[in-house]
Amino acid sequence: DFLLVLGAALQRQVFEEEVQPAVQILAGDNWELDEDNGRVSDPIRRLCVNTGPDFMLCRSYLDMMKLIIFSYMFWFVLTIIFITGTTR
């Protein structure tokens, strides 16, 4: 229960920080491409260069760990499920 409340509190803090203008400049907005809201309706014109770093480039050991976890954890979980299903 504590970890659930802690996760919810941290998520709320992130949501509150997302609405600040300085954070929106760095991270971009969260508008859907199909929403008009007075913006340009052509989705190609709305695309902009992503200023966030890409962890697939492996510039550090942390980026390398992220790449391994996100790329191969699916296969690890799938193997565990297969082994569990076959040993019953």
Number of domains in the chain: 2
Q: Is residue 77 part of a domain?
A: yes
Interval 7-61: pLDDT, tens: 999 999 988 988 888 887 777 766 655 555 555 556 666 666 666 666 667 778 8
Q: How confident is the model at residue 71 (pLDDT cuts 50, 70, 90)?
A: confident
Burial of 55 (0-12, 13-18, 19+ CB in 10 A): middle
Q: Is residue 43 part of a domain?
A: no
Range of the domain at 65: 54-87
DSSP label at residue 37:
T
Q: Is residue 38 part of a domain?
A: no
Q: Is residue 47 part of a domain?
A: no
Supply φ then ψ for residue 30, to 5 degrees: -110, 30
Global pTM reads 0.36
